[in-house]
Chains A and B, each alone.
Chain A
């Protein structure tokens, strides 16, 4: 922070070319995802001669953006996660994009509602999407019974999924798990959201509802899996799982027959085990809650302009460029994701690597699609729900107790946050 303050622009920028304004863009992506965004940056730099965008892959981009903003020398564009948007907005770390977006003709009609709404918070528009995602249940065709081996015939309710999962799971002679039909703890990225699949909410705009009956029901369902498979057996089994971006991924290896995962999963399958036989379906709903059919969590990587950025107008020019339908579709296709835009070309669907891209697009448009709650302490809330999930999954606490403790803890944090950050 001291270095950035003292060195000023020199710390983060270099001249991009004579007479051009250099826009510094910090992004979390590395590898193939970074390559795809670099293509967009290159296309933008070639498209005009006034602005030069310099793309920098930054690890811990959120923390570094916050510190650089505090030091008075932030990047012009920061690519962060949607989950942090409210926290950054409450901390006054971002520039309100409303006037620029309005002038550029970007508004609610441009985007799928489920992606547009979470970008708006407390009267401001704090980001625009780079790439979004929706999630669905991925199924290994060769590991489920033949009668369930297609999207049309696969179980529609959670109860039917459970029955199938228990039936096809295999144990070794020593009791170790060999293959699991389904595991709520795999991949473990959305543990906080299980209740929502049972009709729960986590936050009603003022009060937290982590221990609502629907959340308790969801955690009892998690508890059932831990008890049936054996908590220790599940932990041991999962500790042998490789990372999702490798051939050791449990779904690709056939260690799990079904897995809740994002639209990007197909890209990894394509790279690491292209012969995998799979399909995707919306995650099942509870038998007594047919109204929840078609629910999916939506997530987004977003582009923001930190407060105090030197070239906000020029930065927005680049962000606006990314929102162009052809550019956005190229980027999303490169990342293996669906598009956040309301209008999607037929070409996008036809040439996408994910053969179920239409499903992910329709899930994003579903009225039951949901985003993480808009609350400035979302990282803490997710963390506490994760802890509660692990306490249940490792049989340390009952679902009621774990959620009761999480509710108390997050409520205390929320009270302090309201007092200290929101000044309520």
Chain B
């Protein structure tokens, strides 16, 4: 009976298992194997050992794109985390029409990335942009967001806030799980708003923060569509050339599938390392209900 149950269970799970094997496991293994080959799509791959990895570590553009990406992660993840928590706290208050506000703040995350890139090209336009007009209103000169290498990454970091609605919803769910009794106890101890946020809210939603930060790091490391639209080829002077763009160019512009696969695996290792660091650092600061 147990064997039959297992067979039925496996049968029901088969659609997922097949999907996993075909669309996840096979490409993963294939890309690992490809990373040790010279493969230009139209010719059979030839084994070249670790040459792709060796080349990668001498490749200045690899370092440039990696540096740009890490800087973006360092800027975008904390900024969107703070913004999302702040918005979630505001949207967790009891104000009339809250459902409307929650919807309004979530809606921007539904805008497709390509449309978003096109939209922000106009917002950040150095001559006619909305931001430039805004700066002019307060008699300030606006940076050249799109054309100045010193500002291109910061432009993208600012744009990353557009998508914080996704994390905001998760924070909101976390906030609604915080027991009211804890706030009441804090109030009895004389805690004011900030003290309650610092000592009750944030510790109680710390697992949610950890989850969002880890997901944010993974997402930010793969930034592609918006800079691809707004900064073609990472221009100016590769200041907005990110890791995923270089990987894509190698795979589909230069037909270097082996090299691109090696880049993919290096990115996987970097992502894994950063995730493990985040988890390690979280040990002291994340509080689970079970603890």
Q: Is B125 within 8 A of A386, CB to CB?
A: no
Interface residue A66 (Cβ < 8 Å from any Cβ of B): yes
Chain B: minimal CB distance from A80 (Å): 13
A-contact bits for B19-62, CB 8 A (1 contact / 0 none): 00000000000000000001011110000100000010011110
Q: Is B126 within 8 A of A236, CB to CB?
A: yes
- Interface residue tally for chain B (C-beta within 8 Å): 30
Q: Is A91 within 8 A of B40, CB to CB?
A: yes
List of A residues within 8 angstroms of B148 by Cβ: 232, 235, 394
Tell me the A382-413 residues at the B interface (CB within 8 Å). Answer: 383, 386-387, 390-391, 393-394, 396, 405, 409, 412
Q: Is A236 within 8 A of B43, CB to CB?
A: no
List of A residues within 8 angstroms of B255 by Cβ: 66, 87, 91
Tell me the A63-110 residues at the B interface (CB within 8 Å). Answer: 63, 66-67, 69-70, 87, 91-93
Q: Is B42 within 8 A of A390, CB to CB?
A: no
List of B residues within 8 angstroms of A272 by Cβ: none
Interface residue B187 (Cβ < 8 Å from any Cβ of A): no
Interface residue A30 (Cβ < 8 Å from any Cβ of B): no
**Contact for B237 among A380, A387, A420, CB less than 8 A:** A387
Chain B: minimal CB distance from A69 (Å): 6
Chain A: minimal CB distance from B239 (Å): 8
Q: Is B42 within 8 A of A239, CB to CB?
A: no
Chain A: minimal CB distance from B23 (Å): 11
- CB nearest neighbor in A for B22: A2
List of A residues within 8 angstroms of B146 by Cβ: 239
Interface residue B177 (Cβ < 8 Å from any Cβ of A): no
- CB nearest neighbor in B for A384: B61
Cα distance A387–B240 in the bound complex, in angstroms: 12
- CB nearest neighbor in A for B124: A239
Chain B: minimal CB distance from A52 (Å): 28
Interface residue A379 (Cβ < 8 Å from any Cβ of B): yes
Interface residue A15 (Cβ < 8 Å from any Cβ of B): no
Q: Is A235 within 8 A of B126, CB to CB?
A: yes
Interface residue B163 (Cβ < 8 Å from any Cβ of A): no
Q: Is A390 within 8 A of B125, CB to CB?
A: no
Interface residue B252 (Cβ < 8 Å from any Cβ of A): yes
Q: Is B252 within 8 A of A240, CB to CB?
A: no
List of A residues within 8 angstroms of B237 by Cβ: 387, 390-391, 394, 396
List of B residues within 8 angstroms of A239 by Cβ: 125-127, 144, 146-147
Chain A: minimal CB distance from B61 (Å): 7
Cα distance A174–B141 in the bound complex, in angstroms: 10
Chain A: minimal CB distance from B135 (Å): 12
List of A residues within 8 angstroms of B233 by Cβ: 383, 386-387
Secondary structure class of chain A's binding surface, majority of residues: helix
Interface residue B236 (Cβ < 8 Å from any Cβ of A): yes
Cα distance A377–B259 in the bound complex, in angstroms: 15
Which of A92, A386, A394 has the most B CB atoms < 10 Å from its CB?
A: A394
Interface residue A416 (Cβ < 8 Å from any Cβ of B): yes
Interface residue B238 (Cβ < 8 Å from any Cβ of A): yes
Interface residue B100 (Cβ < 8 Å from any Cβ of A): no
List of B residues within 8 angstroms of A240 by Cβ: 125-128
List of B residues within 8 angstroms of A405 by Cβ: 60
Interface residue B203 (Cβ < 8 Å from any Cβ of A): no
Chain A: minimal CB distance from B152 (Å): 10
List of A residues within 8 angstroms of B253 by Cβ: 63, 379
Chain A: minimal CB distance from B133 (Å): 12
Q: Is B254 within 8 A of A380, CB to CB?
A: yes
List of B residues within 8 angstroms of A237 by Cβ: 126-127
Interface residues on A, range: 35 or more
Cα distance A96–B271 in the bound complex, in angstroms: 45
B-contact bits for A222-247, CB 8 A (1 contact / 0 none): 00000000001001111111000000
List of B residues within 8 angstroms of A379 by Cβ: 253-254
Chain B: minimal CB distance from A231 (Å): 9
Interface residue B159 (Cβ < 8 Å from any Cβ of A): no
Interface residue B149 (Cβ < 8 Å from any Cβ of A): yes
Chain A: minimal CB distance from B250 (Å): 10
List of A residues within 8 angstroms of B128 by Cβ: 240
Q: Is A70 within 8 A of B144, CB to CB?
A: no
Tell me the B52-77 residues at the A interface (CB within 8 Å). Answer: 55, 58-61
Q: Is A421 within 8 A of B40, CB to CB?
A: yes
Which of B55, B128, B255 has the most A CB atoms < 10 Å from its CB?
A: B255
Chain B: minimal CB distance from A177 (Å): 10
Chain A: minimal CB distance from B120 (Å): 13
Interface residue A352 (Cβ < 8 Å from any Cβ of B): no
Cα distance A239–B131 in the bound complex, in angstroms: 13
Interface residue B79 (Cβ < 8 Å from any Cβ of A): no
Cα distance A87–B41 in the bound complex, in angstroms: 12
Interface residue B235 (Cβ < 8 Å from any Cβ of A): yes
Q: Is A236 within 8 A of B147, CB to CB?
A: yes
Cα distance A253–B147 in the bound complex, in angstroms: 20
**Contact for A70 among B42, B59, B127, CB less than 8 A:** B42
- CB nearest neighbor in B for A397: B237
**Contact for A416 among B41, B55, B60, B144, CB less than 8 A:** B55
Cα distance A301–B225 in the bound complex, in angstroms: 28
**Contact for B252 among A63, A412, A416, A420, CB less than 8 A:** A63
Cα distance A237–B40 in the bound complex, in angstroms: 41
List of A residues within 8 angstroms of B38 by Cβ: 420
Q: Is A91 within 8 A of B236, CB to CB?
A: no
Q: Is A307 within 8 A of B42, CB to CB?
A: yes
Q: Is A92 within 8 A of B254, CB to CB?
A: no
List of B residues within 8 angstroms of A235 by Cβ: 126, 144, 147-148, 236
Cα distance A383–B237 in the bound complex, in angstroms: 10
Cα distance A235–B141 in the bound complex, in angstroms: 14
A-contact bits for B142-171, CB 8 A (1 contact / 0 none): 001011110000000000000000000000
Name 14 extra pairs, CB < 8 A, besides A66-B42, A239-B147, A409-B61: A63-B253, A91-B43, A91-B255, A92-B42, A232-B148, A235-B126, A238-B126, A383-B233, A387-B233, A390-B149, A390-B235, A396-B237, A405-B60, A420-B48
5 contacts between A and B (CB under 8 A): A91-B255, A232-B144, A307-B42, A394-B236, A409-B60
- State the A residues within 8 Å of B (CB): 63, 66-67, 69-70, 87, 91-93, 174, 232, 235-241, 307, 377, 379-380, 383, 386-387, 390-391, 393-394, 396, 405, 409, 412, 416, 420-421
